[in-house]
Amino acid sequence: MAFLDMQGVSYTYPGWPPVVQRVDWDIAQGEFHCLVGRSGCGKTTLLKLAAGLLQPDEGRVSLQGQVVRQPGPGTGFVFQAPTLLDWLTVLDNVLLPVTLQRQPTAQDVARAEQLLTQMGLASHSSHYPRQLSGGQQSRVAIARALVLEPAILLMDEPFAALDAITREELQDELQAMCRARGTSVFFVTHDIAEAVYLADRVAVMEGGRIRHDIRVELPRSRTQDVRYSAAFNAICAELRQAMDQEDGR
């Protein structure tokens, strides 16, 4: 049984052509899956369907064998912007998913502090978002998404606005933390190299459909040096060719 399973999923915004069309797709437990495609191809909508933020017009989305009807504690979500609350401290921002459900326990606080330590932000727990850099805010957003120990992490181009060095640092931190926890990841990006570096599998989406599903046969754990290897660049070229074919180029 697939961990995240989509069967015949379609979605249309009122007054618009179909955005997602009859998608059959799955993610295995512990797998890091990236979805690439040009702007407007339906990537973010598919992510929202996986999260339960939208309900499909047709088909079914299941997580661990249960139909997804709304966002649940088993799913963590990281948006394109960190979306931190300005009036809360870093620690309280990380604890927000807990606070929305109940009063945080000492164990919850300890887990949040551990995540901040792993993100290199232990000394910033009492700071406010305005006192952080963009990269630090992104780290807080990831810690917040992991504080409830979700089974799957859904990420919508979370590093797109960051500089190249910070982005690569966060990629390394993210894959290390998720592999250590066995967390499945569905990661949307427009960056081919980012997708190949992070993923076990990369899917190409075009016109609301998944057109290609490519397995990344690169060893784990990966370091930035792999970007200069022939194997890495061959997979990047394969993905780019797949995207160009679907775009009619």
Top-confidence range, 59-73, 166-180, 188-202: 188-202
Output the CA–CA distances (angstroms, integers) from residue 103 to 31, 109, 113, in the order listed.
32, 11, 16
Q: Please report the pLDDT score of residue 117 as a whole number.
A: 94
34-55 pLDDT per residue, tens: 999 988 889 999 999 999 999 9
What residue segments make up the domains of the chain, in order of their start?
Answer: 1-74+171-249
Is it the case that residue 114 has pLDDT exceeding 60? yes
Is it the case that residue 62 has pLDDT exceeding 70? yes
Q: Please report the pLDDT score of residue 249 as a whole number.
A: 55
DSSP-derived secondary structure for 90-120: HHHHHTHHHHTTSPPPHHHHHHHHHHHHHTT
Q: Please report the pLDDT score of residue 247 as a whole number.
A: 59
Domain 1-74+171-249: which CATH number of 3.40.50.300, 3.90.1280.20, 3.40.1190.20, 3.20.20.70: 3.40.50.300
- The sheet that has 152-156: what strands, in order across it? 75-78, 152-156, 184-188, 32-36, 201-206, 209-215
Mean pLDDT of the chain: 92
Give CA–CA dist 95/148, Å, rounded: 9
- The sheet that has 20-27: what strands, in order across it? 20-27, 4-11, 58-63, 66-67
Q: Which residue has the tokens 């797709």?
A: 25
Is it the case that residue 248 has pLDDT exceeding 80? no
Q: Please report the pLDDT score of residue 191 as a whole number.
A: 93
